[in-house]
Chains A and B, each alone.
Chain A
């Protein structure tokens, strides 16, 4: 770590250098700034500098501590301190190297493993100088080359499995196989050979060999070019480790080499693409490699394409089957090699090259890499790549256009190694056209033109061209469409097949001549399930649905709230009315009783009963008094009880029926009786009510009297029913007042 201390004069120098500020002004400014800060802080005022942060004085309270020398307890007195709180912008800016990290929720066993890895990478990154970074490139590429070789061996195994008619193939020109960019031309020409076009599926097998050879050659190229790359091993490690890591901002010593410049440019483009592509950041990272990988992968991919196309030329179905078989064969070869990463990287690099057609690039690269990929892993990543690219280009997911796009994009590549290859590929395409039938030409031309016109990643821009074209031309042969459909579907499913399919689709149109470009485009537009766009669309639509539903709910609440409130109010009013009716009835009973009392004033027994009844009228225990004067109003109670079906608690209780009779002795309590007969001591209130004539004060029940235990409505004495409990408690509080 080389932490230099920058002092004021140095800052002045830096200030003077960039802008047209005199040294004197800068010096004066800094001095005055510092003094102003100090003055403000010394007066207890905090100073906020916009875009930087706040300096503020902070008071630290006195605290207990220990004297270091004597070990005695000491109190550190309170003091003021100047602290600096950075602004959010500054904070993010400084934390740039770690900005991709987020806090994660740990399961019980999880530990800091992942973060430690990041940590190491980060620290290593911090420590690296550009020189150090360049040293790691070699190691990285050598490992990649080793991986490629492993993959090649797998391919060889695969090709060995396939039937061996390779020698017969005209396309089989091992010698012609490209070890350099120049050689591509030769390969391309071979593919263009019309005879080879008619050749059997054998070409596919042969293509495997070719692919293997090409890959091996490319691996060698990788090795040689390893010096050119300027990425740190650590960065690559990080990429490999963190799938979700964003593209690292740091780009090592690229500026030295052209290749590195290009890679940096590519990376910049890639950054743009990364931003455009919502998914698969990890893949982007992986693919954020450099030219070398790109070349190799591209070459391999191209070879694979060629071979596949050659094989496909026979029939739609035949080609399909062949492609399937080849794909399946290739898939069997899964070795989980990191070569996929390399390929992906190359592919991604390729995508970087063409800023104008990033989507096309991505697709092509994906397809190419998929071809070369034997690994399932790579296939997955390719798939994701493809998905991302397909998402970018909703309507034109065809493989053939992609291939042509690739050629187009390649043509537009900057002067890199890839240029040669791309030029060759273009030439190849061009050569193919005259060879093929006229119909084939327009197919290619249209597709190419379509893609040439695609200026940007914007799908909309691309689609109108293709869509319009496709719409105009009617579908010709079902078989072709079926093939394309299958192709498209297949593409969505697996990576490896994608590339093959691309070739197949392309060649179907080209070879057979019957297919029109529009058809293909149409098929692809219609059929191809853009997983990612669909996914994106689905996501977006899902989001929209959620938003709209929420809005509807909110609106519903807004509108219905008053209605609901009214309904509630009405219910409450009903209840109140009932209660009022009950109370009115009670009052009437009271009146009646009163009248009866007045008429029967001589009757002493009725007086206390009536008093009780009057007192307890409001407590809806009118039935008690009524029971006391049962002769007068037996019917009333009955009617009342029956009329209060809706509200048991408001109903006046009649205690005419008794469960049992208990004698009050010393030590007996109403609560005990309640618990015995009703199951909960809280229900003593009902026993009290039933014996009000005998008990005036529930706290002081006279001994020696007989208490009758009334038979209660079970709902009222249900200890499990909250309402009954609450009601009993309410009565209890009332009586205990």
Chain B
């Protein structure tokens, strides 16, 4: 589902307006992102965790031109599902 559907579903369940839900979503995301930027792990019980990991630099070779590139290190945000979610997924799907 895209963003719109998500918002409308939540608004329906919460009995609040869509704009409010949008605001809530924004606040929620802001806090999460701030936490991630501070290198903290954001966890949702029985769902999963969001974490920032560092990918080391690596040398990769272009297959055709045989050029070697040095890819710099970077920080990425990782989502790790919880075991409960994994079970649910595989039992249902």
The reply to whether B1 and A126 contact each other, CB–CB distance below 8 Å, is no
Asked whether A40 and B44 contact (CB < 8 A) given A29-B10, A82-B79, A82-B85, the answer is no
Residue of A nearest to B85 (CB): A82
**A725 to B21 Cα, complex, angstroms:** 77
Contacts of A26 in B (CB 8 A): 24, 27-28
**What string of 1s and 0s marks CB contacts (under 8 Å) between B34-73 and chain A?**
1111011111111111111000110100000001111111
**What string of 1s and 0s marks CB contacts (under 8 Å) between A455-479 and chain B?**
0000000000000000000000000
Please tell me if A11 contacts chain B, counting CB pairs below 8 Å: yes
The reply to whether B24 and A21 contact each other, CB–CB distance below 8 Å, is yes
Asked whether A112 and B81 contact (CB < 8 A) given A44-B93, A48-B2, the answer is no
Contact of B72 among A57, A90, A102, A108 (CB under 8 A): A102
Please tell me if A119 contacts chain B, counting CB pairs below 8 Å: yes
- The total of chain B residues at the interface (CB under 8 A) is 63
Contacts of B67 in A (CB 8 A): 105-106
Interface hub of B1, B14, B50 (most chain A Cβ within 10 A): B1
Chain A nearest CB: distance from B45 CB in Å?
A: 6
**A598 to B30 Cα, complex, angstroms:** 101
**A15 to B25 Cα, complex, angstroms:** 10
The reply to whether A94 and B52 contact each other, CB–CB distance below 8 Å, is yes
Contacts of A2 in B (CB 8 A): 39
Please tell me if B19 contacts chain A, counting CB pairs below 8 Å: no
Chain B nearest CB: distance from A145 CB in Å?
A: 34
The reply to whether B70 and A112 contact each other, CB–CB distance below 8 Å, is yes
Please tell me if A537 contacts chain B, counting CB pairs below 8 Å: no
Contacts of A52 in B (CB 8 A): 29, 32-33
**What string of 1s and 0s marks CB contacts (under 8 Å) between B63-93 and chain A?**
0000111111111111101000110111011
Chain A nearest CB: distance from B52 CB in Å?
A: 6
**A198 to B33 Cα, complex, angstroms:** 66
The reply to whether B89 and A42 contact each other, CB–CB distance below 8 Å, is yes
**A732 to B23 Cα, complex, angstroms:** 80
Residue of A nearest to B88 (CB): A42
**A97 to B88 Cα, complex, angstroms:** 37
Contact of A101 among B30, B59, B74, B79 (CB under 8 A): B74
Contact of A95 among B49, B75, B78 (CB under 8 A): B75
The reply to whether B14 and A29 contact each other, CB–CB distance below 8 Å, is yes
Asked whether A48 and B57 contact (CB < 8 A) given A29-B24, A82-B85, the answer is no
**A102 to B74 Cα, complex, angstroms:** 10
**A115 to B88 Cα, complex, angstroms:** 43
Contact of B47 among A3, A37, A94 (CB under 8 A): A37
Contacts of B56 in A (CB 8 A): 119
Contact of B43 among A5, A94, A97, A126 (CB under 8 A): A5
Chain A nearest CB: distance from B69 CB in Å?
A: 5
The reply to whether A94 and B36 contact each other, CB–CB distance below 8 Å, is yes
Chain A nearest CB: distance from B70 CB in Å?
A: 5
Asked whether A106 and B59 contact (CB < 8 A) given A94-B52, A98-B74, the answer is yes
Contacts of A33 in B (CB 8 A): 10, 25, 28
The reply to whether A49 and B3 contact each other, CB–CB distance below 8 Å, is yes
Chain A positions 2-37 with a Cβ under 8 Å from a chain B Cβ: 2-8, 11, 14-15, 18-19, 21, 25-26, 28-30, 32-34, 36-37
**A57 to B92 Cα, complex, angstroms:** 12
Contacts of B40 in A (CB 8 A): 3-6
Please tell me if B17 contacts chain A, counting CB pairs below 8 Å: no
**A104 to B93 Cα, complex, angstroms:** 44
**A19 to B71 Cα, complex, angstroms:** 40
Contacts of A30 in B (CB 8 A): 28, 44
The reply to whether B31 and A36 contact each other, CB–CB distance below 8 Å, is no
Asked whether A51 and B26 contact (CB < 8 A) given A90-B77, A105-B68, A122-B73, the answer is yes
Asked whether A8 and B72 contact (CB < 8 A) given A29-B28, A82-B89, the answer is no
Residue of A nearest to B38 (CB): A4
**A47 to B30 Cα, complex, angstroms:** 18
**A11 to B43 Cα, complex, angstroms:** 9
Asked whether A36 and B9 contact (CB < 8 A) given A42-B88, A79-B86, the answer is yes
Chain B nearest CB: distance from A204 CB in Å?
A: 48
Asked whether A80 and B89 contact (CB < 8 A) given A15-B28, A29-B24, the answer is yes
**What string of 1s and 0s marks CB contacts (under 8 Å) between A64-103 and chain B?**
0000000000000001111110100011011111100111
**What string of 1s and 0s marks CB contacts (under 8 Å) between A355-387 and chain B?**
000000000000000000000000000000000
Contact of A28 among B1, B14, B47, B75 (CB under 8 A): B14
**A45 to B5 Cα, complex, angstroms:** 12
**A122 to B51 Cα, complex, angstroms:** 18
The reply to whether B43 and A6 contact each other, CB–CB distance below 8 Å, is yes
Please tell me if A685 contacts chain B, counting CB pairs below 8 Å: no
**A292 to B75 Cα, complex, angstroms:** 34
Contacts of B92 in A (CB 8 A): 42
Contacts of A101 in B (CB 8 A): 72-74
Please tell me if A324 contacts chain B, counting CB pairs below 8 Å: no
Interface hub of A52, A81, A104, A122 (most chain B Cβ within 10 A): A52
The reply to whether B29 and A95 contact each other, CB–CB distance below 8 Å, is no
Please tell me if A41 contacts chain B, counting CB pairs below 8 Å: yes
**A108 to B72 Cα, complex, angstroms:** 17
Chain A positions 103-132 with a Cβ under 8 Å from a chain B Cβ: 103-106, 108, 110, 112, 114-116, 118-119, 122, 126
The reply to whether A38 and B85 contact each other, CB–CB distance below 8 Å, is yes
Contacts of A481 in B (CB 8 A): none
Contacts of B43 in A (CB 8 A): 5-8
Given contacts A18-B27, A106-B68, 18 further A-B contacts (CB under 8 A): A7-B43, A19-B23, A19-B27, A32-B10, A33-B25, A36-B9, A41-B89, A44-B93, A46-B1, A49-B6, A50-B3, A79-B89, A80-B86, A80-B90, A81-B89, A94-B76, A97-B75, A112-B70
Q: Which residues of B contact A (CB under 8 A)?
A: 1-3, 6, 9-10, 13-14, 16, 21, 23-37, 39-52, 56-57, 59, 67-79, 81, 85-86, 88-90, 92-93
**A-B contacts, 13 listed (Cβ < 8 Å):** A3-B39, A25-B16, A30-B44, A36-B13, A38-B47, A42-B89, A42-B93, A84-B48, A94-B33, A103-B69, A103-B72, A108-B68, A118-B73
Which 4 pairs from chain A and chain B are nearest by CB? Answer: A84-B79, A101-B72, A50-B3, A106-B68
